[in-house]
Amino acid sequence: MKKYGIILCTALLALCACEKKATKFQYTVDKFYDLEILRYDVPGFDELSLQQKQLVYYLSEAALQGRDILFDQNGRYNLRIRRALESLYTNYPYSREAEEFKAFERYLKRVWFSNGIHHHYSEDKFLPEFSQEWFVAACEQAGVEYDAAILPVMFDPNVMPKRTNQAAGQDLVATSAGNYYGEGVTQAEAEAWYDAHKDNSPEPKWIGLNSQLVKNEKGEIEERVYKVGGLYGPALEKVVYWLKKAYEVAEDDEQKLAIEKMIAFNETGDLRLFNEYCIAWVRDLNSRVDYVNGFTETYSDPLGITGTWESMVNFKDLEATKRTQLISNNAQWFEDNSPTAKAYKKEEVKGVTAKVITAAMLAGDCYPATPIGINLPNASWIRKEYGSKSVTIDNLMHAYNEAAKGNGFNEEFMIDDEIRELYNQYGAMCGDLHTDLHECVGHGSGKLMPGVGKDALKEHASTIEEARADLFGLYYLGDPKLVELGLLPNMDAYKAGYYQQMMNGAMTQLVRIEEGKDIEEAHMRNRQLIANWVLANVDPKQPEVEIIERDGKHYLRVNDYEGLRTLYGQLLAIIQGITSEGDYETAKDFVEAYAVRVNPDLHREILERYKGLNLAPYKGFVNPVYKVKTNKDGQITDVKLDFTEGYIEQHLRYSRDYSNLPDVN
């Protein structure tokens, strides 16, 4: 189960204006529904060597070749639906200004953004604003053939309504639309199969990470492995082709070894080779260019076992990395001074390699919506024995902040000018530092007690783990040690981060939830769990933090920042205990008590206030286009970046050039 990889939510941070150096780079590309599409710059690419540019290009091609895999993992009908929509869009013979066609175009853009027909964040199915009758007639007029089975999947709200169901008391496998389990497989059957195939060796395989469980003709559960020649083989063959090209221009032997192991893993599906890849990847410390490629995070599997396809190509920001290295170098101090119980602390923190990176290509579950921080590998035994890599993605944060300037969000939701000024001065700094602390030391802190497995917390593992890392970062954000290290200028700065976290967790993240819905997504649950627990445990006579009403609107007010830090520390100790002991029942109680349910009156108010700002709560990106220059012998002489491709144009090109899987897999 995913315990340490991080996919931090960023869009609400992006709504808050931050002071950054002015630039003429055009960040905003498109806007529809609750989504805004941005570009990201890739500063420093032109200064890379030709070999490094080639490496980025080849790894980027390997990343894009897996695009169809995620669509299919997100739902068994997604490829059929996407291709029918794209064919209709391309061949539609009538006016494109008609309202139903405009609604159709918005729906297609939404499907691209979510890599399927379920919202990328809430995971609820979104319905077309055009009728089934119009769609059928339009396909007939355009000569578009499609599988009739897609019609109820697209138009009936009761068919596959939730991509990943986490509702208590339900069969999470049978009620989830994600394609991680074959038709007819139940949660009890899947859990029984995983239990029977557990690997308790000293270096265990992550059973189920790269496979789908299905029923055979006899009704028995069997595994379909993602590999060349197996499930998703045609796409993985292309991935391997480009990884082999990358191998030829790798920067050093350590990087070559990691790429070699990834190739072997894709060719065989052997999870022992995946372990070897992770170890080699962690040991590759000197290369400037780096990547994530393959089946990594397990959020979308309702049981938290199988990884989704994702890839990110990047290179190190040498100057900004000094900040994360400073944190990493003090990892043992952070561990030793944590407010958690001594029994749950690591005696020796090993190999937390931290850096700030510039993203150069996003793909799979990192595209169009993307993380701003990553901490891998996820296997706790590899992290313990060999360490981990922790990264903060600076150019994406810069794009978010640039696009958010002057949008009115702070003026509407922050309580007064003093808080707004504090945030304008220190908000971006605290956001970066909290991400660094979360990634560099938060996920790598603490230890499991003997006999506690990685899947002990089951469906609540992701929420609890993200809360643990967030709390670790929050607790130390307010520590004088950060001023001593030169990471914060003074002991007022951290207050901007504390205010933003509490406001977001208790109030403003609710703009992402439809009225009447509960919170499903793990990161949102994490943030609300922290905020609600704190609000429920303040001093009733002199509350450290509270929500107050003023002129008919609710605002967060912090009365005692030191007291708030104490509360964060108390909750961190509890959450670490839950994690270390594998205490499923307490985890379940905490999530259900603090993380899921929403105050309907406050929710309605937040939605109304946000609506008046005309903002999009979610952001995503288009990638740059890599233009390769060659000589008369076909050898690459340079690689240039092009930032002019639009959102629609990019996805149509991706579907043309990287469509490697059949409709049904």
- The pLDDT tens digits of the residues spanning 220-258 come to 999 999 999 999 999 999 999 999 999 999 999 999 999
Determine the pLDDT at residue 18.
40
Q: Say which range, 14-28, 382-396, 472-486, 605-619, has the weakest mean pLDDT.
A: 14-28
Burial class (CB in 10 A: 0-12, 13-18, 19+), 632: exposed
pLDDT at 368: 97
Signed CA dihedral, 597, 601, 605, 611: sign only: positive
β pairing state of 388-393 and 373-376? antiparallel
| pLDDT of res. 273 | 97
Residue whose tokens read 């509960």: 518
- Return the pLDDT at 202: 85
Q: How far is CA 354 from CA 282, 330, 435, 612, in A?
A: 11, 11, 11, 40
Run of H or E residues at 604: helix 600-611
pLDDT at 615 over 90: no
- Which percentage of the chain shows pLDDT scores above 70? 96
Q: Where are the beta strands (DSSP E) in 394-534?
A: none
Instruction: Return the structure tokens found at 146.
Output: 């499609």
Paired sense of beta strands 28-32 and 35-39, if any: antiparallel
Per-residue tokens: 642: 């092009």
Q: Mean pLDDT, the chain, as a whole number?
A: 93
Structure tokens at 551: 């002129």
Question: Which contiguous run of DSSP H or E holds residue 362?
Answer: strand 352-364
Amino acid found at 154 = M
Nearest Cα to Cα of residue 567 among 613, 532, 599: 532
Which pLDDT does position 416 carry in this prediction? 95
Tell me what pLDDT residue 16 has.
41
Contact between residue 150 and residue 84 where contact means Cβ atoms under 8 Å apart: yes
For residue 121, the one-letter residue type is: Y
Determine the residue type at 566: T
Note whether 477 and 496 are within 8 A (CB).
no
Q: Could you tell me the two tokens for 288?
A: 């400037």
Per the DSSP assignment, residues forming a β-bridge with 359 are: 314
Both tokens assigned to 49: 């060597």
| Burial call 513-538: b when 16+ CB within 10 Å, e when fewer | beeeeebbbbbbbbbbbbbbbbbeeb
Q: Bridge-partner residues for 641, per DSSP?
A: 626
* pLDDT of res. 12: 43
- Residue 559: pLDDT band (50, 70, 90) is very high
**How many other C-beta atoms can be found within 10 angstroms of the C-beta atom of residue 652?**
16
Total Cβ atoms within 10 A of residue 542 = 9
β-bridge mates for residue 30, sequence order: 37
What is residue 19's predicted lDDT score, i.e. its pLDDT?
Answer: 37
Cβ-based neighbour number of residue 551 at 10 Å? 5
Confidence class for position 568, pLDDT limits 50, 70, 90: very high
User: So what's the pLDDT on residue 23?
Assistant: 45
For residue 372, give every residue at least 6 positions away whose Cβ sits within 8 Å of its Cβ, in sequence order, or none.
8, 10, 392, 393, 396, 397, 400, 435
User: Looking at residue 460, what DSSP letter applies?
Assistant: G
- Counting every residue written for the chain, the total comes to 665
- Type of residue found at 196: A
CA end-to-end span of the chain, whole Å? 24
Cis peptide, bond prior to residue 368, ω within 30 of zero: yes
What's the pLDDT band for 21 if we cut at 50, 70, 90? very low
393 strand-pairing partners: 357
User: 509 vs 111, 407, 529, 606, CA distance in Å?
Assistant: 23, 16, 12, 9
User: Burial of 194 by CB count in 10 Å (0-12 exposed, 13-18 middle, 19+ buried)?
Assistant: middle
Q: If pLDDT is split at 50, 70 and 90, which confidence band does 591 have?
A: very high
**Helix (H/G/I), strand (E/B), else coil: 224:** strand
The mean pLDDT of 600-623, rounded to a whole number, is 93
Are 318 and 287 contacting, i.e. CB atoms less than 8 angstroms apart? no
Helices and strands in the chain: count of H runs, count of E runs: 25, 14
Return the pLDDT at 166.
Answer: 86
CA distances from 247 to 65, 310, 633 (A): 17, 19, 21
594 DSSP 8-state letter: I
365 closest CA partner among 3, 6, 1: 6
C-alpha 205/C-alpha 273 separation (Å) is: 9
Predicted TM-score (pTM) of this structure: 0.81
User: Facing residues of 356 across strands?
Assistant: 392
Tell me: pLDDT of 17 over 50.
Answer: no
Instruction: Spell out the residues 6+ positions from residue 204 whose beta carbon is closer than 8 angstroms to its own.
Output: 198, 379, 381
Q: Which pLDDT score, from 0 to 100, does residue 351 have?
A: 62
| The predicted structure's pLDDT at residue 163 | 96
Give CA–CA dist 318/322, Å, rounded: 7
Chain-centroid distance of CA 464 in Å reads 16
For the residues of 548-566, what is the DSSP string, one character each?
Answer: EEETTEEEEEES-HHHHHH
- On the 0-12 / 13-18 / 19+ scale of CB atoms within 10 A, 481 is middle
Which phi-psi region, left, alpha or beta, contains residue 451 (left: φ > 0; alpha: ψ -120 to 50)?
left
Strand 618-622 to strand 35-39: parallel, antiparallel, or no bridges (unpaired)?
parallel
Distance CA 546, CA 530 (A): 14
- Label residues 2-30 b or e (16+ Cβ within 10 Å = b): bbbbbbbbbbbbbbbbbeeeeeeeebebb
Tokens of 418: 């003093």
Mean pLDDT of the region 125-135: 97
Interval 334-349 mean pLDDT: 95
Q: What percent of the chain has pLDDT over 90?
A: 81
Q: State both tokens at 269.
A: 């599906």
